[in-house]
Structures are given as structure tokens and as C-alpha cells.
Amino acid sequence: MDEHCEVNWLVDTEQANARQGTVRWDPVHSLWNGGHLAVALAIAPFVASPGAVLTGIALTGLFLLLGHSVGFHRLLIHQSFRVSRPLFRFLIWSGTVAGMSGPFWIMRTHDLRDWAQRQAGCHDYLAHRRSMPVDAWWQIHCTLRLDHPPRFDPRNLGRDRFLHFLEKTWMAQQLPLAALLYAIGGWGFVVWGISVRIALTVHGHWFVGHLAHRRGPQSWLVKGAGVQAHDVPWAAIPTMGEAWHNNHHAFPGSARIGLYPGQSDWGYAFIRLLERTGLATDVRTPDMMIARQALLGPARAGDQRRLRHHPCFSRQNR
């Protein structure tokens, strides 16, 4: 199997078990997420202005694109393309400023879920299997402590001082941006550009993730996986293409997630722009993952042929 389709940062030890564990309150992330939501609900309406609202929306989209989708997910976690060291640091900083957590926490949390969903069975927390209110509380305010987790091994990234700096200061990274926003437009810009943005990012990320493991269109089934993914078409644009989650489960190491005509993928469009300007190399797409196709089965009749003949699987038509 192509190594870029593996879970990159976990070591699956013999004792590792995805089923047995305890959900516990996570005070750091709970207070952070709940605090920004409270500010967004209680204060934002009273300091709203056209400029503040537009700034909040624009910054939400900007950091979702550069930081969460391109920087954290496709670059840091899946290594689906390469960039220079300065650009790498800028994109990972953008992911940190998106406001969900630091880079190592994101890597560990993401890969634990990926690893667990590929097992024959896993804990309800990792499968988004509970009702929406319970899953929201679990994902936004709690963490899962597995009795026997796999080992987290960031390898060479574990020696990166810049990543450790971001991990330790991920909440404080909002302060320079907050100061700039205050200088431009006062407290209204700060509330909308920081708290509303973070609340939208955190809660939107959970909501789309919940739906993507519960209902929606499917093209592919991953053989042996206890949890399958679904697409959430209406969320394709606000998630920068991440909502084509069934495609992502099929080819997790691909920089391109929107595979079919009409599947908007702004994250991949930005990576292609970087590639055309010489700022990104080794951009990986499903045509480079032939071994991965052996692990996939079509969710509908005819999909296997439709995938193999799609232009995105032809290097010259990429």
C-alpha cells in the first residue's frame, strides 16, 4: 500500500485497542471553545458592523483555506505535497491561528480517529456514533482516553522547535491578530475576527465531521474499515473541499479531495496555484496511488469504472 495512505504519525502496537476507553472532560479546550462561543452569542450582535462582519467572514475563510485545509490537513498530517521551509511554517502558523489547537494536538487527534476508523470496530467517540447533542459535547468539550492507545511518533517533526513553540503558544497566537484588528476597527473587529471566527471554525468542523460519518452520498467503501465516510455536498465551499469526505477516506494521501466534476475543492486549487508558481512540488493525486485502489470497493454499481476513467487519474490531465 502507498505509504501516504497510511496513518503517518501513529505506531500501531500489538496492545493497541480502538474500542476500550473513557471519555473525559477536557478543561483547556472546553473553556476555550465554550468561551469563544459565549462571546460570539452574547457580545457579537451588539458590536456588529458591516466591516466587522465582513472581516470575520473573510478571516474565517482565509484561515480555513490556508491553515486548516491546506496547512494542517493536506500538508502537515498527510504530506500530500511539499513546500519550502518558510512557506511550510507560514501555513502551519495559519493552521494554528485557525484556533482549534496546536499542530501536535491536531496531528495526534486526527490520526487517532483515522487509525480507529480503519479497524473492524472502534469506540463511539471515534466513530461519531452517538446522537448529535452527545457527539457535540464529546468532540468539542471532551477527549477520549483509550486504555491501550497506539503510540504517537512525530519523528523528524518532533525535533522542530517552531512546531513546539506553536504547540505551547497556540492560544496566544491570536493576540497579534487581535491587536491588529483592534487598531483597524476597535472591539467589533476583534470580536468578529477572533471569537466569532473561532466559534464558527470549531463548531462547523464538528458539525460537518459528524454528518460525514453518519449520512450522505458515497462512492467508495474501504475494505475492512469499521467506519465508512460520506460526502456533505452543501459544505464543499465553506470547508474548502474537505466535505468530500468519502473521497478522502478512499485516498487520504491525495492533495485533491474533490474528484468528480462539480466537486468544488478550493484547497486543491490553491495547492495547484502553488505548484504552477514553483512553490509546491510532489503534489500527490489518486493516479499515483494504484495500490490503494485494491483496498476500495464501489458503493454503487459502475463506480469502479467511473473512477478509473476519470480525468483526475490521468497525470497529463491533472
In DSSP notation, 8-46 reads TTEE--TT--SS-EEEEE-HHHHHHHHHHHHHHHHTGGG
Q: What is the pLDDT of residue 292?
A: 81
Higher pLDDT, 67 or 5: 67
Label residue 99 left, alpha or beta by phi (over 0 means left) and psi (-120 to 50 means alpha): left
pLDDT band at 316 (very low <50, low <70, confident <90, very high): very low
Take residue 133 and report the three cell numbers written for it: 447533542
Neighbouring CB atoms inside 10 A of 132's CB total: 13
Report d(CA 107, CA 144) in Å as an integer: 15
Determine the average pLDDT of the residues in 70-96: 98
Would you list the domain boundaries of the chain?
3-317
pLDDT band at 52 (very low <50, low <70, confident <90, very high): very high
Looking at residue 283, the DSSP 8-state letter turns out to be -
pLDDT digits (tens, 9 = 90+) for 139-158: 999 999 999 999 999 999 99
* pLDDT score of 300 more than 80: no
Q: What is the pLDDT of residue 299?
A: 76
Amino acid sitting at position 274: L
pLDDT digits (tens, 9 = 90+) for 148-204: 999 999 999 999 999 999 999 999 999 999 999 999 999 999 999 999 999 999 999
* CB-based contact 19:144 (threshold 8 Å): no
* pLDDT score of 5 more than 60: no
Write down the pTM of the prediction. 0.92
Which burial class, exposed, middle or buried, applies to 228 when counting CB atoms under 10 A from its CB (0-12, 13-18, 19+)?
Answer: middle
| Average pLDDT score over the chain | 92
* pLDDT score of 214 more than 50: yes
Higher pLDDT, 10 or 304: 10
Report the percent of the chain where pLDDT is more than 70.
92
* pLDDT score of 105 more than 90: yes
Report d(CA 200, CA 277) in Å as an integer: 32
Contacts of 205 (CB under 8 A, 6+ apart): 68, 100
pLDDT band at 13 (very low <50, low <70, confident <90, very high): confident
Higher pLDDT, 178 or 304: 178
pLDDT digits (tens, 9 = 90+) for 230-242: 999 999 999 999 9
pLDDT band at 12 (very low <50, low <70, confident <90, very high): confident
**Residues paired with residue 137 on neighbouring β-strands, in sequence order:** none
Rg, the chain, Cα only? 19
